Amino acid sequence: MRKFLVIAAVVLAAGCTKEGDTIYLPDPNEEAASATPLVTVIYDVNALGDHSYNDLIYEGVERAAQEMGLRTMQLSPQTHEEGLQYLELMFRQMETAKDTVRRLFIVTSPSYDDFIRKNNKRLEANPYADLLYLETRKPLDGKGSTLFLTYYGAMYEGGRIVAALEQVSVMLLGANRKTPSVTEALQGYSDGFEAGLKLLTEQQARQNHLALSYLDERGESGFSIADSTALRLLWKWNNDGITELVPVCGGASNTFARLNYYTRLSVNFIGIDAYLDSYFSLYSIVKHIDRALARCIRQWFSDGAMPKHQTIGLKEGYTEVILNPNFPPLIIWMPSGYEGTTVPCLTEEMKQEMHEEAVRKEEEHER
């Protein structure tokens, strides 16, 4: 399977007709253009290699393509302008294509929102070209499908669990204020944490704290960070008494996790679906975007069409809280009304109750 496909039109003059018109035939040694359906993914700037959301997209597309016998092309531009050039080339080619090759274009980033919504109708001229636009709640006007993985429920469950712990101080860190998927995740965590505090006594609740901060206060970035900046922030939070770091900031989260050796905060993984072998991570709150994309590609390839819009999350199993099995037993507060003050661990029954609460809250949020 080819990750990057370039087809060159190389022709040779083969002879003339009796009218003198020149006939051009393909080079017999040139590989014929494939009729196998093609899935093309256009990422945000330098998105691949983040060991998180975008790498999961890559893996999910490749697994689905291998399963269904599809070709793939995955494009990670170095600048936003380059990404727009990829999209413009794609739309222009699909407007004039004469072949019957089925093509699915997947756009992963809301940074291209304005361009996508102004140009997606251009694909209507080609019945064999389809578009899937990720991480938006707003369906496209015209051709194309949209997918949104709501993170509210899983983040609510994560905040709800942490609020029950004994004497925790959490730094909830977002990439920026302008990315809806980030702000919704932060809101879910905050709501879950606040709901958990209400079940504690007033004295217990006073010992648990939640602070909120952003890496990019004014813009739309904050998904990457220099090592020196990350280490400076880790030391500051450590000196401020922070015990838990919940970073909703893409690849920057991995920078914090890698450098946390020097401070040993509990840096919780957000977004990536990975086995947690770190002693300093309480849990991972994962977004199974790889599974979700496999679902969409299967709908497109096997069922003939994707739904116009899909929103899926905790209830459907596309987001999840995974506790670290290597983490020490959790010491939690008993809810008010129970005898005693603490219990030695978070039981399976308690976790299930918190999970069901989070599913209900996510459904309410979606309504």
| 298-336 confidence digits (pLDDT tens) | 999 987 789 999 999 999 999 999 887 766 556 555 554
Place of tokens 């995955």: 74
* Among the listed residues 288, 285, 284, the one whose alpha carbon sits nearest the alpha carbon of residue 324: 284
pLDDT given at position 195: 96
> What is the C-alpha to C-alpha distance for residues 16 and 25, in angstroms, rounded to an integer?
11
* Among the listed residues 138, 199, 189, the one whose alpha carbon sits nearest the alpha carbon of residue 164: 199
Average pLDDT over residues 210-221: 92
**Structure confidence at residue 2 as a pLDDT band (50, 70, 90):** very low
The end-to-end CA distance of the chain, in Å, is 42
Say if residue 7's pLDDT is above 70. Answer: no
> What is the C-alpha to C-alpha distance for residues 46 and 124, in angstroms, rounded to an integer?
30
Average pLDDT over residues 288-299: 95
pLDDT given at position 275: 47
What's the pTM?
A: 0.80
Average pLDDT over residues 100-124: 94
pLDDT given at position 337: 47
Average pLDDT over residues 106-128: 94
Q: Record the tokens describing residue 242, joined without a space.
A: 């922070």
**Structure confidence at residue 257 as a pLDDT band (50, 70, 90):** confident
Say if residue 239's pLDDT is above 60. Answer: yes
Say if residue 31's pLDDT is above 70. Answer: no
Contacts of 127 (CB under 8 A, 6+ apart): none
Average pLDDT over residues 346-351: 82
pLDDT given at position 186: 97
Average pLDDT over residues 50-65: 90
> What is the C-alpha to C-alpha distance for residues 107 and 22, in angstroms, rounded to an integer?
42
Mean pLDDT of the chain: 84
* Among the listed residues 205, 213, 210, the one whose alpha carbon sits nearest the alpha carbon of residue 190: 210
pLDDT given at position 34: 79
Amino acid at 37: P
Say if residue 24's pLDDT is above 60. Answer: no
**Where does 196-354 show beta strands of DSSP type E?**
209-216, 244-248, 266-267, 269-271, 283-287, 309-312, 319-323, 332-333, 342-343
pLDDT given at position 173: 97
pLDDT given at position 356: 97
Q: Record the tokens describing residue 151, joined without a space.
A: 């993170």
Among 22-31, 37-46, 80-89, 258-267, the least confident range: 22-31
pLDDT given at position 128: 94
Q: Record the tokens describing residue 348, joined without a space.
A: 């399976």
pLDDT given at position 16: 37
pLDDT given at position 25: 44
